[in-house]
Structure 1
C-alpha cells in the first residue's frame, strides 16, 4: 500500500479539491475518472515518484471528497485550474483517466502556459451515446479488466453514490471536447487499453489525430482501467514519454 508523504485541500467557493503528494522533481498531476478515486493510481505512483513530484487528486464527490456534490467536467476543470494557479505549479504533466482525461482537456485549454505535457488515458470527451447505453457496457468492462480490482471499483462507486455518478455520466456525455483538441499546445500522449469496453479504442485514435503532434499508444490485453490492468506497460509508456527529449518541431508550451 502506497502512503502519501503529504496531503492538502484546496477550497474555492465552498468546493474542496483533495490531493496527496509523493516524491520530488517535475510535477505530475493524476486525475481519476468517473466512480474512481486517487487509489486507482497506486500501481503507478511508485514508478513516477522516483523522478517526479506526483500529485494525486480526489475530485469533488469522490474518494476523500466523497461527501460533496460531484462537479461537472467544466466545473472540475475550473477548480483544478484555480488550484494550479494558487500553487503556482508550472511545467506540469497532466494525466487524466476516462472522465479525468475529459476534464484535463478543458484544463489544458484554460491554462496552457502551465502545462508541458498532457496524457489522456481512455479519455471520454468524444463519446456520443446515452448514459443508459454506457451502463449496459459496465458488466463487460468489469470482466475485461483485472478481476482483483473489481472490489475497489465497486467500493469507490458506492462511496460516490448513485446521484453523483448519474449527474457526472449525463454531464460528460453532453460535453464534447472536439473543438478544443486542435488548440492544445502541450505535448500529448493518448494511451488506451486494447479491450476498452466503455470508450472504444477507435475514439482514442480520433482523439490523437485531432491534437497537433499527439502520439497514440495502445496497450495490448488491457481494458478501460489500463493503468491497473497493465501497470508495467503503462508506466513504461508514460515515463518514456515524460522523459523523452522533444524532437524538433514537436508541440511545446
Structure 2
C-alpha cells in the first residue's frame, strides 16, 4: 500500500439529529466552490466511512470538501432502534444529516451497505444528489448468488461476536481476508486495528446485539428506475458477496449509469486498489 493515510483525530465532528449524536469526519477547505463529497460505509463489524475510505481521503480532500458519515449504530454515532424498511429509514436520517450540515446537494461515494442507502436517497430526493458512486453494493433481495453470499456474511458476523474469547485482532484480520479482500496481503495492520477498535465499542456491540431493532429487509429494485443521478458502479470481480448480476441490473435500470469492473479485487476495491479507484472516481466526479 503506497498511499499514506491521513490521521483521523483532528477531523472528528459530531452533530445532533433528533436529539442524538451523529459522528462524522470532515476535511474542509475554506472557500471551496466544488460540490462536496459525502462518503458512506459498509455494514461489516467496525465499519466507518473513515476506515472504509482510509486510503482515498487524501486524494479526494485535495479537490473537495469531504464528509465521512457514520450511520446511526455504527462508528461513534449513537445507536437507535430502526423501525420499518431499513434502507428507507437510513435514507431519511442521511437527509437530516445533510440538512444539519447545510449541504443542499452532494456527490455520494458509498461502500456496500451505505450504497443501498444512497440509492434510496437518490431515488427519493433526486435534487440532493449530484454524482453517485456505488462500490460493492447489493441493494436487492435476490440475484444469482445473493442467498449464499448473504448467509455467509451473516454467519461471519455471528462468529466474530459469539466466539468464546470475544472479538480479537486475529479474528478481524481473518474476517477481512475471508469476506472483504481478494488478496490478504493487501490488508494492512492499520486496516485491522481501526476496524477492530470500532467493532468493540459499547455502542456498536449494543447495536449488533439487537437484531430485531435493526429494521426490516428492503429490496430497492423498484427504486432503480427512479435514480436519475449520473452514476458510477465499481465492483470487484471476486467480491465474496456476489457477482456482476446485480451491478449489471443497476446499469440497465438506472437512467445514467456505467460499470467499472476490477479484476483481482474483492468487496473493498477502494482499499485493495486505491490508486485505480481514486483515479477512476475522481475522473468521474470531475
TM-score, scaled to structure 2: 0.74
Is the 2:112–2:138 contact (alpha carbons within 8 Å) kept by the matching residues of 1? yes
Match of 1:8 among 13, 19, 35: 13
Q: Equivalent of 2:284, from 208, 233, 241?
A: 241
Pick 1 or 2: higher relative contact order, CA cutoff 8 A, min separation 6: 2
Residue 23 (structure 1) shift: 3.5
The answer to whether the Cα contact below 8 Å between 2:231 and 2:257 also exists between their aligned partners in 1 is yes
Indicate the residue corresponding to 1:247 in structure 2. Answer: none
The answer to whether structure 1 residue 111 and structure 2 residue 125 are counterparts is: yes
In structure 2, the residue matched to 1:230 is 273
Deviation of the 1:29 alpha carbon: 0.2
Aligned pair 1:167/2:211, yes or no?
A: yes
Q: 1:14-64, CA deviations, whole angstroms, 9 ceiling, x for partnerless residues? A: 333211111433200000010211222110110001110000111111112
Using a 3 Å threshold, how does the CA distance of structure 1 residues 143 and 214 change in structure 2: closer, same or farther? Answer: closer
TM-score w.r.t. the length of structure 1 is: 0.83
Q: 2:251–2:258: 8 Å Cα contact kept in structure 1? A: yes
- The answer on whether the counterparts of 1:69 and 1:164 sit within 8 Å (CA) in structure 2 is no
Name the SS of the counterpart of 2:267 in structure 1: coil
What are structure 1's unaligned runs of at least 5 residues? 244-253
For the pair 1:188 / 2:228, whether they are aligned, the reply is: no
Q: 2:182 aligns with which of 129, 134, 144?
A: 144
Instruction: Kindly indicate whether residue 35 of structure 2 is the aligned counterpart of residue 54 of structure 1.
Output: no
Distance, in Å, in 1 between the alignment partners of 2:228 and 2:209 is 31
The alignment's C-alpha RMSD in Å is 2.7
Aligned twin of 1:44: 56
Gap change, CA 1:142 and 1:240, over 3 Å in 2: closer
Indicate whether 1:157 and 2:199 are aligned.
yes
Q: CA distance change for structure 1 residues 110 and 11 in 2, over 3 Å: closer, same or farther?
A: farther
Question: Which residue matches 2:241?
Answer: 198
Shift of 1:194: 1.4
Partners of 1:165 and 1:220 in 2: CA distance: 36
* 144-153 or 225-234, larger mean C-alpha shift: 144-153
1:59-88 Cα offsets, whole Å, 9 max, x none, are 1111122x5246433222111111222333
Do residues 123 (structure 1) and 123 (structure 2) align?
no
Q: In the aligned structure 1, how far is the partner of 2:181 from the partner of 2:104?
A: 39
How many angstroms does 1:185 deviate by? 1.7
> Gapped runs of 5+ residues in structure 2?
157-174
Which SS does the other structure have where 1:93 is aligned?
strand
- Counterpart among 254, 259, 271 of residue 211 in structure 1: 254
Correspondence 1:31 to 2:40: yes
Larger of the two Rg values belongs to structure? 2
Confirm or deny that 1:64 pairs with 2:76: yes
* Structure 1 contact 22–55 (Cα < 8 Å) conserved: yes
Q: 1:200 to 1:155 in 2, by over 3 A?
A: farther
Residue 191 of structure 1 aligns to a residue whose secondary structure is strand
